């Protein structure tokens, strides 16, 4: 009887500890500010304010216009600290966080 008692206690403790274990939430995807890029920039170059037209803020990139495949940025995503309250790049020295759409010219 004693060995059953210890077994039952062990099972109860295991169930009790697992019931109060924190489950880590999935990391939320971060919204980016998406811009249509109108000049020839590669993914590591700084984009000028005048060449970036705001499209939307979301976790997924919009299609943009004239985007196919190539080496130049077409739609680029920037973080909130790279964009001002008027949805423009804060200055001419912002490098995109994400460039999911490119163009050839």
pLDDT at 61: 94
Domain ranges of the chain: 32-103
Q: What is the pLDDT of residues 16-35, one digit of tens each?
A: 676 666 666 655 668 999 99
Residue 54: partners with Cβ closer than 8 Å, 6 or more residues away: 33, 34, 35, 87, 88
- Answer whether 74's CB lies under 8 Å from 64's CB: yes
> What's the pTM value of the predicted model, to 2 decimals?
0.71
Would you call 101 helix, strand, or coil by DSSP? strand
CA 96 to chain centre: 12
Cα(80)–Cα(94) distance, integer angstroms: 12
Q: What is the pLDDT of residues 36-89, one digit of tens each?
A: 999 999 999 999 999 999 999 999 999 999 998 899 999 999 999 999 999 999
């Amino acid at each position: 009887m004693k060995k059953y008692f210890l077994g039952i206690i062990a099972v109860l403790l295991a169930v009790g500890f697992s019931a109060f274990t924190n489950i880590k939430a999935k990391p939320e995807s971060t919204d980016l500010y998406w811009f249509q890029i109108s000049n020839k920039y590669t993914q590591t170059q700084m984009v000028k304010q005048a060449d970036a037209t705001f499209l939307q803020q979301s976790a997924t990139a919009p299609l943009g216009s004239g985007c196919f495949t190539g080496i130049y940025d077409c739609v680029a995503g920037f973080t909130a600290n790279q964009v001002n309250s008027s949805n423009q790049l804060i200055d001419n020295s912002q490098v995109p966080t994400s460039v999911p759409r490119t163009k050839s010219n």
